[in-house]
Amino acid sequence: MILNFSSYAQAIKRAIPKSTNKEVTNLLIGFIIKDENVLNKNGEPYSLNSNTIFQWWHQNEDIPSGIKTAAASPAISSEAIDYFESNIIPKISPQKELDLYHEMRSIIEADTEISGDTRNDFLTLHENNNLTEFLVEVFLYAIQKDNKKTGQVKQNPKANEAVNIEENLANLQKLIQKFKKPDAQTPPKNFDKKEMTYVSELLAAYADDNGKKVIRKEDIVEHPKYGENFQRHRKDYYAAETIRQSARDILLDTEKDEFSILTEETYDGIIDVHEDDYNNGYKRLKSVMKHVTTIQLNKSILNSFPGWISTSEKKGVCHILVNDGKIKWVNQDE
């Protein structure tokens, strides 16, 4: 094992939970290249793009001489302790801290290119529990070492696709986590006008099962057989309605059809079960509601938001399909 940027950065990454190669590289290199005087051979600021990071981590390229020179400067050396103390040490998992120091020590002891005096200086810092200074001094040394494997052939840029995927997935996950599931609306005591269609269909399904012509909405909540069932369906409807309104509020104009995509996919998933023959509308209602909880919904981006589309929302979308006139529970021909 050789102490260089790659081995050092990989050890740091293992100690910082859920960190990516890009995040760790920016942590370690960012404070060096932020100086406007630290420029590449073209006289431009250094760019830490995915390909560059891939090449460094896989030891296909050495760290540029401009960064090495800056890292060796007194300005960086004097700033490094405070920077590590404020920006890197707090990110290290307490459970991983001892493992990190042990791994760093093992790398140092295994690297035969490190002089005896330098190795002893590092190990003394570790033994004296000067851990921040230990990490800083080892880093400033590691970045000066040759980061490119001897005889290494530079890989085709396509070889960094795995790293790009890792970074993209991590960024996507962070973005998705920002969209916390909204709290579902509580069904109001009095029926809203927008509920009348699906409520009427539920009442018709209950009456069809009970052998009555009509069950009134004023009586349904207290009904001994259907009351609790009805209350659950109202909660499901408002759960789905909450998602519809939240999607409209947070998504871009070009994405406002995402809830329509969800309802269309739901319709496609339940329609065959809905069209089966049933003795009454209540049995159709129960069969469709049971089936909708089993279907996989993948087309709408809303399904990527953690927890947004659960069992209740799926059932609620069925009531929205009723409101839209796409399905009915009672077939007059049955």
3-state SS string for 277-327: CCCCHHHHHHHHHHHHCCCCCCCCHHHHCCCCCCHHHHHHHHHHHHHCCCC
- Within this chain, do residues 221 and 80 fall inside the same structural domain, yes or no? no
- Within this chain, do residues 247 and 133 fall inside the same structural domain, yes or no? no
Choose one of 125, 148, 177: the last residue of a domain.
Answer: 177
Phi, psi for 45 (deg, rounded to 5)? -60, 150
- Within this chain, do residues 57 and 166 fall inside the same structural domain, yes or no? yes
Among residues of the chain, what percentage have pLDDT more than 70?
89
CA-to-CA separations, 67 to 62, 71, 145, in angstroms, rounded = 10, 6, 12
Question: What would the DSSP string read from start to end of 210-264?
Answer: HT-S---HHHHTT-TTTHHHHHHHHHHHHHHHHHHHHHHHHS-GGGTTHHHHHHH
- Within this chain, do residues 80 and 170 fall inside the same structural domain, yes or no? yes
Banded model confidence at residue 301, pLDDT cuts 50, 70, 90: confident
In a domain, 334, yes or no: no
Q: Are 81 and 132 in contact (CB under 8 A)?
A: yes
Residue 130 CB contacts under 8 Å (≥ 6 apart), including other chains: none
Domain span at residue 149 reads 5-177
> Which of helix, strand or coil describes residue 330?
coil
Banded model confidence at residue 154, pLDDT cuts 50, 70, 90: very low
Judged against a pLDDT cut of 50, whether residue 81 lies above it is answered with yes
Judged against a pLDDT cut of 60, whether residue 314 lies above it is answered with yes
Question: Tokens 């269909």 — which residue?
Answer: 201
The two three-digit tokens of residue 317, written as one number: 């979308």
Q: Output the pLDDT for position 63.
A: 94
Q: Output the pLDDT for position 177.
A: 64
- Within this chain, do residues 161 and 201 fall inside the same structural domain, yes or no? no
Banded model confidence at residue 165, pLDDT cuts 50, 70, 90: low
CA-to-CA separations, 168 to 50, 59, 64, 213, in angstroms, rounded = 10, 22, 26, 58
Judged against a pLDDT cut of 80, whether residue 160 lies above it is answered with no
In a domain, 257, yes or no: yes
In a domain, 333, yes or no: no
- Within this chain, do residues 42 and 169 fall inside the same structural domain, yes or no? yes
Average pLDDT over residues 219-227: 92
d(CA 120, CA 106): 13
Each residue's pLDDT tens digit, 29-79: 999 998 888 888 888 888 888 888 989 999 999 999 999 999 999 989 889
Which amino acid, 319? Answer: H
In a domain, 113, yes or no: yes
- Within this chain, do residues 313 and 247 fall inside the same structural domain, yes or no? yes
Each residue's pLDDT tens digit, 248-293: 777 755 545 889 999 999 999 999 999 999 999 999 999 999 999 9
In a domain, 232, yes or no: yes
Judged against a pLDDT cut of 80, whether residue 167 lies above it is answered with no
Each residue's pLDDT tens digit, 186-210: 999 999 999 999 999 999 999 999 9
> Which of helix, strand or coil describes residue 46?
coil
Average pLDDT over residues 13-31: 92
Choose one of 177, 205, 237: the last residue of a domain.
Answer: 177
Question: How many residues can be counted in the chain?
Answer: 334
> Which of helix, strand or coil describes residue 52?
helix
Judged against a pLDDT cut of 50, whether residue 159 lies above it is answered with no
Judged against a pLDDT cut of 70, whether residue 170 lies above it is answered with no
Q: Output the pLDDT for position 152.
A: 47
- Within this chain, do residues 114 and 151 fall inside the same structural domain, yes or no? yes
- Within this chain, do residues 201 and 167 fall inside the same structural domain, yes or no? no
In a domain, 329, yes or no: no
Q: Which of 96-100, 136-140, 171-175, 222-226 has the lowest mean pLDDT?
A: 171-175
Q: Output the pLDDT for position 120.
A: 94
pTM: 0.50
Residue 63 CB contacts under 8 Å (≥ 6 apart), including other chains: 5, 56, 143, 147
In a domain, 54, yes or no: yes
- Within this chain, do residues 233 and 152 fall inside the same structural domain, yes or no? no
Q: Output the pLDDT for position 180.
A: 79
In a domain, 147, yes or no: yes
- Four-CA torsion 276, 278, 280, 281, nearest 10 degrees: -20
Choose one of 143, 177, 211: the last residue of a domain.
Answer: 177
- Within this chain, do residues 30 and 122 fall inside the same structural domain, yes or no? yes
- Within this chain, do residues 40 and 146 fall inside the same structural domain, yes or no? yes
Mean pLDDT of the chain: 88
Q: Output the pLDDT for position 199.
A: 96
**Total domains in the fold of the chain:** 2
